[in-house]
Amino acid sequence: MGTVVDTAKKEANGSSLSEKKITVVFVLGGPGSGKGTQCEHIVQHFGYTHLSAGDLLRAEIKSGSENGAMIQNMIKDGKIVPSEVTIKLLQRAMQESSNDKFLIDGFPRNEENRSAFESVTGIEPEFVLFFDCPEEEMERRLLSRNQGREDDNIDTIRKRFKVYMESSLPVIEYYNSKGKVRKIDAGKPVEEVFEAVKAVFSKDA
């Protein structure tokens, strides 16, 4: 794994990433907490670029690259894609963008992701936008959205909640201890949630 980290570090240090002042906001919240919808609004209102770790991994798989084949095999085997691989994709997306403000959605998923991101990129998030939503509400939304996603059945949903709680909460607690968490009550209607989001970005950004 060392080589991937070294390459990623080299790319971070010798590239435009270290030359431009990057602002990163991590967007965290359970499945169905409304992260994607709110990210779209933030992009429109505040000029951020939205980077979804999951979308980047899926795009890499689709590209047919060697890296994509490796990612696909890992996911198929039920393994977690190494942090450095996801970070490299995020870095590349940031380098290729003309923007310097990024929403990173669905990452870091756990403490290891978090520390790897900071050590590889040298970037700490400006703040963490945490969509706090009751489990029953997330469950209701996931079951009703019916996007044809095979992971939207009740058993799988509950497993996803459990994984999310166990792995993501330590990340939220870590940033909370540094005063960087902006908690949003995501159980309300979309418009009300965005009013709260707007208040955070107007104050912090």
The per-residue pLDDT for range 74-122, each reduced to its tens digit, is 888 877 788 999 999 999 999 999 999 999 998 998 999 999 999 999 9
pLDDT of residue 1: 40
Residue 173 in tokens: 């607690």
Q: What percent of the chain clears pLDDT 90, i.e. is strictly above it?
A: 60
The per-residue pLDDT for range 171-189, each reduced to its tens digit, is 999 999 999 999 999 999 9
Q: Is 23 helix (H, G, I), strand (E, B) or coil?
A: strand
pLDDT of residue 11: 44
Q: Give yes or no for a contact between 157 and 143, defined as CB atoms under 8 angstroms apart.
A: yes
Q: Give yes or no for a contact between 75 and 109, defined as CB atoms under 8 angstroms apart.
A: no
CA dist 126 and 181 (Å) reads 10
Q: Give yes or no for a contact between 184 and 131, defined as CB atoms under 8 angstroms apart.
A: yes
pLDDT of residue 14: 42
pTM of the model: 0.83
Residue 5 in tokens: 């980290």
Q: Is the pLDDT of residue 153 over 80?
A: no
pLDDT of residue 40: 95
| Helices of type H across the chain | 2-13, 16-19, 35-46, 53-62, 66-76, 83-96, 111-121, 135-145, 154-177, 190-204
CA-based nearest residue to 22, from 88, 98, 115: 98
Q: Give yes or no for a contact between 131 and 31, defined as CB atoms under 8 angstroms apart.
A: no
| Helices of type H across 47-134 | 53-62, 66-76, 83-96, 111-121
pLDDT of residue 152: 57
Taking residue 183's Cβ as centre, other Cβ atoms within 10 Å add up to: 15
Domains, the chain, in order of start with CATH, read 1-12+48-124 (3.40.50.300), 125-195 (no CATH)
pLDDT higher at 113 or 5:
113
Q: Is 81 helix (H, G, I), strand (E, B) or coil?
A: coil
